[in-house]
Structure 1
Amino acid sequence: MGARHRKPWPAFALYLDVGASCAVHRRQRLALSRFDRSGAVGEGDGARRGRYRPPARPRFARRRSAPAGRGAMMGLDGVFTRYVGRLFIVRFAGLLLFFVIVLQMLDLLNRSEAINAAAGAGPESIARYIALRAPQIASQFTPFAALLAIVVTLSSLNLSSEIAVMRAAGMSIHRVLRPIGAACLVIAIAHFVFHEGLVVPRTAELEYWEANKFEVGLKHDASTRTNLKLLLEGEIVAAASAARTDEGVRLSGVTVYELDAAGLAERIIEARAALFTGGGWRLIDAKTPGPERASASVASMPWKTSLDPETLFALSLNPDRAGMAALVRQIDQLDRDGADAGAAVTSLLSRFSTPMATLIMPLLGAIAGFGVSRQGNQLVRASAGAALGFLYFVFENLMLAVGKLGAIPPMLGAFFPLALFLVVGFAILLAMEN
């Protein structure tokens, strides 16, 4: 029979050799420091009892031996960082690409009929929709892809006993997770830049295009608001769009629900448009549907409402579709008008808390990589790490929704899940370390 195939050592078996060499060096130095203190040094009856100093080695030998060991350890640290970091980055990129492709295909199957229903629609419309929708999917699933990549990376390292080798060489859990944490920091920064620079404008363009029935060749008008729903004093106003024109502010597809003292709809007014000129609003082609009311439309009628044009554009700005500069201006306008700016402030803070979620994924997924693999519970630990991260995403979305409703302060809604699970992650790490 031929020679039996031997499985190669794990990539970090060299750490054991370095650790053993360092231990031998420490024992040699300890042996030199242990000496007989009973010998006398000096001359005469009052000779002092002194410390024995071993003969010094040549200076050049001392200077060459110590840096050599430190250089070897620094080189191994670089190899370790590149190895673990590369494993994590490759798995993260693959999982994120997988999520984008699969979810984009499912979303396209759902929206393709509406896209092709527009006059003159073709493959160009499909390609435009993918270009506008794919960045939003990538930004939404970046933290989740990082979590799964951490679980897969640590599980594979544990199954191949590489984590056991690292731990035997004296590396702590924090040291093992340091390359993954550094990679997550880079991913979080890139996620923030990608979201603000590409996702926000493309999502706003997609919403405008969808509100106009995916019209072919339609250019995005950033000053136009779509799908407006405003709750005012004594009425609810819904409009298909709002835009600034040469004549003034114009609303299209207006529906007004007048409320009574009990908050119930007392009358409904539908109008083709509403125009703000001369300091007041007028409804164009307005009618009041109902069995007891005449259905004939009125060419023009005054509209008594508390809606201010500037407040209209501030309230109708979707915080998730606006850049940070526009969002800050919206908050300032709402504060001047005395309106509630809680939803806008929560959305502004979530621009920072959402990318920062990637930073705590190594803490939540670390449970998947540390433990004795022969116990047969590797799948349980990997599932626990993924479930802990999934619980964070659910809790984060819940707190953001509650914060936008104004039930809790915006700072609490945006950063409380991050702080809570940061403490939980460190507690798990300390428990595993001990």
Structure 2
Amino acid sequence: MMLQFFPSKRVALYMGKLFLVRTLAVLALLVIVLQTLDLLGESGDVLAYPGNGDAQLWQYIMLRAPQIIARFLPFSVLLGTLVTLATLNQNSEIIAMKAAGLSAHQILAPLIVVALGIALFSFTFNERIVARASATLDAWQAVEYGPLPRDSGVKTNIWVRDGDDLVTAAIVGGRGNQTLLRNVEIFNRTNNSLTTIVHAPRGHFDAKNGGWILHGAKSFDVLRGTTQSIGTFRFGRDIRPDQFTLAKVDADGLSLNSLQAAIHDLKDAGRPTAALEGSLWHKVSGPLSAVLMPLLGAVAAFGLARSGKLFIRAVIGMSLGFTYFVADNFALAMGNLGAYPPIMAAWAPFLLFLLVGETVLVRTEE
């Protein structure tokens, strides 16, 4: 029996179902509470745009909820683990399993398998839904919750320098010679003093002659305080399309393959990519953190409930789980600063706490 991963199929199904239901219940509760609080804080900005109403509020919820689910799914797995194991311990079911000959690892095996399934779901959910929702929400917020741009995968709030002048585009879509700009502003400066501001609702790259063409442009003279319409306006012969499309790469708004392509383009353009490479690795290690939660929360499963230390064990398990999330965020921050290599920033906390959880389990129960 000690060599079998699942000595009892019935017990494995019972524990797996118990764990899954409690994890989903905790996740639903967290999403409802956090989405409500977030909506209360953001609804004023959504409704501030003329014509917005209940439909736009529901649209905001549909775009924001996937982000909340993705962020708090590992927390839900941790809390689901603690609730499940503490309940089994309180009802002496853990003692019965150990009396039947099951080891601590065999007791946790069904939870780890379910957590692996949750990790696979989380990865797929992030790739298919969260990345698109994040990109769409960023583009919507860039136009202050106005009409949503057709291309929801655009980049927003891009700044590019052209000599002494600064160019900003609220929305950038397309790629290469097909790059399109929306809500463009050019800040013309002379001797570090702002002279004129050119604004245009749209623009595109002129592949034939080089440079960029703005349509419906207006010029504001800072010294005189006057505005005049200048129609079509050319600028930025030295600005390459990749300076707009690669100026801001949001890893959260890109799928794994899209982020890999963006990193490749940045490397070709001679840009630093260490932070994005860390985010690329974290797209795999992040969802996989759900597998750690049953191991870190296992301390709540063992020990006599009547000893009065069950609550303390649950707190210890929760502390281990939350310490992992703190270490994970710290490692990513160090990776963004260049202090850690990208692969180390993404995987070091996972491997460290895997060893910590296994050590605690072996030393205390095996």
2:16 is matched by which residue type in structure 1?
Answer: G
Where do residues 238-277 of structure 1 align in structure 2 (5 Å cutoff)? 238-243=168-173, 249-250=180-181, 252-254=183-185, 266-268=192-194, 270-273=197-200, 276-277=205-206
Offset at residue 425 of structure 1 (A) = 0.9
Q: 2 CA distance for matches of 1:192 and 1:376?
A: 39
Offset at residue 287 of structure 1 (A) = 5.4
Q: Is 1:206 paired with 2:206?
A: no
Where do residues 169-248 of structure 1 align in structure 2 (5 Å cutoff)? 169-215=100-146, 218-222=148-152, 224-229=154-159, 238-243=168-173
Q: What's the CA shift string for 1:171-196, capped at 9, x where partnerless? A: 11101100100110111011111111
Aligned mate of 2:275, from 339, 343, 363: 343
Q: 1 CA distance for matches of 2:301 and 2:190?
A: 59
2:299 paired residue number: 367
Q: 2 CA distance for matches of 1:302 and 1:191?
A: 46
Q: 2 CA distance for matches of 1:188 and 1:322?
A: 19
1:110 paired residue number: 41
Q: 1 CA distance for matches of 2:5 and 2:154?
A: 58
Q: Which moved more, 1:395-404 or 1:84-93?
A: 395-404
Q: Equivalent residue of 2:8, what SS?
A: helix
Q: What's the CA shift string for 1:317-371, capped at 9, x where partnerless? A: 3221012222122111111111112232222111101101001111111111111
- Whether the aligned pair in 1 keeps the contact of 2:94 and 2:302 (CA below 8 Å) is yes
Q: Is 1:126 paired with 2:67?
A: no
- Whether the aligned pair in 2 keeps the contact of 1:104 and 1:134 (CA below 8 Å) is yes
Q: Calculate percent identity across the aligned residue pairs.
A: 34
Q: Report the aligned-residue RMSD.
A: 3.1
Q: Is 1:94 paired with 2:25?
A: yes
Please identify the structure whose Cα radius of gyration is greater: 1
Offset at residue 405 of structure 1 (A) = 3.6
Q: TM-score, normalised by structure 2?
A: 0.85
Q: What's the CA shift string for 1:153-212, capped at 9, x where partnerless? A: 111111111111212222111011001001101110111111111111122112212222
1:91 is matched by which residue type in structure 2?
Answer: R
Change (3 A) 1:140 1:247: closer
Gaps of 5+ in 2: none
How many residue pairs are counted as aligned between the two chains?
354
Where do residues 142-161 of structure 1 align in structure 2 (5 Å cutoff)? 142-161=73-92
1:184 is matched by which residue type in structure 2?
Answer: A
Q: 1 CA distance for matches of 2:304 and 2:15?
A: 20
Q: What's the CA shift string for 1:12-71, capped at 9, x where partnerless? A: xxxxxxx9xxxxxxxxxxxxxxxxxxxxxxxxxxxxxxxxxxxxxxxxxxxxxxxxxxxx
- Greater RCO (CA < 8 Å, at least 6 residues apart): 2
Q: 2 CA distance for matches of 1:368 and 1:341?
A: 41
Gaps of 5+ in 1: 1-18, 20-72, 261-265
Change (3 A) 1:232 1:400: farther
1:331 is matched by which residue type in structure 2?
Answer: I
1:413 is matched by which residue type in structure 2?
Answer: A
Change (3 A) 1:232 1:141: farther
Q: Equivalent residue of 1:407, what SS?
A: coil
- Whether the aligned pair in 2 keeps the contact of 1:157 and 1:369 (CA below 8 Å) is yes
Change (3 A) 1:399 1:267: farther
2:311 paired residue number: 379
- Whether the aligned pair in 2 keeps the contact of 1:315 and 1:334 (CA below 8 Å) is no
Offset at residue 86 of structure 1 (A) = 1.4
